[in-house]
Structure 1
Amino acid sequence: MTTAAEIMHPGAEWIPATETLDRAAQLMRRLDVGALPISDADERMCGILTDRDIVVGCVAEGRDPSRVTAGDMARGTPRWIEASADVSQVLEEMQSHRIRRLPVVENKRLVGMISEADLAHHLTDDQIATFVENVYAHS
């Protein structure tokens, strides 16, 4: 059984909900990632911020990324998976919610992220084709 921990990209970091988007972009650049889980004051996930959110939801609307916070961009119900979860559970979670990145937690702590690239390295061609069809077909 392949687990979420075995396919995830380790070392993911939170961005506090109170942090500004310009700082979030700097952290994304430093970590070479396109998404950051957003944490509230109690270190509970309250969303995920993507580079696309910053560009489309802030900059393209003429808003100042030094005045908009990660929390301002948090929408919807955050999704995550336990590190011990089987890869089939990872796929089900990502496909059923049509998400492209999934935070991985262990003992209620963020330990990694699973992205499409991580899936591509660990799944069969048929599994990847099914994932792409389910996540992108109705986008």
Structure 2
Amino acid sequence: MRVGECCNTSVVIAQRSTSIVEAAQLMREFHVGALVVVDPDGGTARPVGMVTDRDLVVEILAEEAPASGITVGDIMSSDLVTAGWDDELLDTLDRMRSEGVRRIPVVGATGALMGILAADDVLDLLAEAVGRVPQLVRHQQNIEAQRRT
């Protein structure tokens, strides 16, 4: 399966200049735990970093830093790991594990942001797939029973 088949294409974004208060409000409004930080590049959004709710807690609240004047660009993780739209899902999950990330921006061939893949989304996908196995078995048993009658 390809990453593009299972990633979420509705991505909440911010720019480096977005204040951390605005970032927290975006996370709350859209019920997300991370924002992809983008630089506009000729009308497309090119991911340059990520900021998570954990970043806000660890970098700002735990340090008792004043929220005013601090931007997403000040605290974002800039060693960004991305996945390609056509990358294999299992290979991407291996990369996420080795890099220690739970979310990864998905980019197209030109590097433009196209989606985000989160470990939680993959768990939902797997749970749905596993849930179909008992249905498959029951269906097969019903077909076999009908053939014998």
Bin the TM-score by the shorter chain.
0.7 to 0.9
Amino acid at match of 1:34: G
Q: 2:76 aligns with which of 74, 77, 84?
A: 74
Cα separation, 2, equivalents of 1:69 and 1:101: 21
In the TM superposition, what is the alpha-carbon distance from 1:109 to its structure 2 partner? Answer: 2.0
In the TM superposition, what is the alpha-carbon distance from 1:122 to its structure 2 partner? Answer: 2.6
Cα separation, 2, equivalents of 1:21 and 1:68: 6
The answer for the alignment partner of 2:34 in structure 1 is 35
Q: TM-score, normalised by structure 2?
A: 0.74
- Structure 2, unmatched stretches of 5+, are 128-149
- Structure 1, unmatched stretches of 5+, are 125-139
RMSD: 1.8
The answer for the alignment partner of 2:118 in structure 1 is 115
Name the count of aligned residue pairs.
Answer: 123
Q: 1:101 aligns with which of 100, 103, 107?
A: 103
Cα separation, 2, equivalents of 1:109 and 1:68: 26
Identity of aligned residues (%): 32
The answer for the alignment partner of 1:131 in structure 2 is none
In the TM superposition, what is the alpha-carbon distance from 1:41 to its structure 2 partner? Answer: 5.4
Cα separation, 2, equivalents of 1:60 and 1:67: 17
Structure with max Cα Rg: 2
The answer for the alignment partner of 2:136 in structure 1 is none
Cα separation, 2, equivalents of 1:46 and 1:64: 25
From the two aligned structures, give the one with the greater helix fraction: 2
- Aligned residue for 2:121, secondary structure, equals helix
Is the alpha carbon distance of 1:109 and 1:41 closer, same or farther for their aligned partners in structure 2, counting shifts above 3 Å?
Answer: closer
Cα separation, 1, equivalents of 2:78 and 2:37: 12
CA contact (8 A) 2:51 2:77 kept: no
Runs (4+) of structure 1 exceeding 4 A deviation are none
CA contact (8 A) 1:54 1:65 kept: no
Q: TM-score, normalised by structure 1?
A: 0.79
CA contact (8 A) 1:13 1:110 kept: no
Amino acid at match of 1:20: S
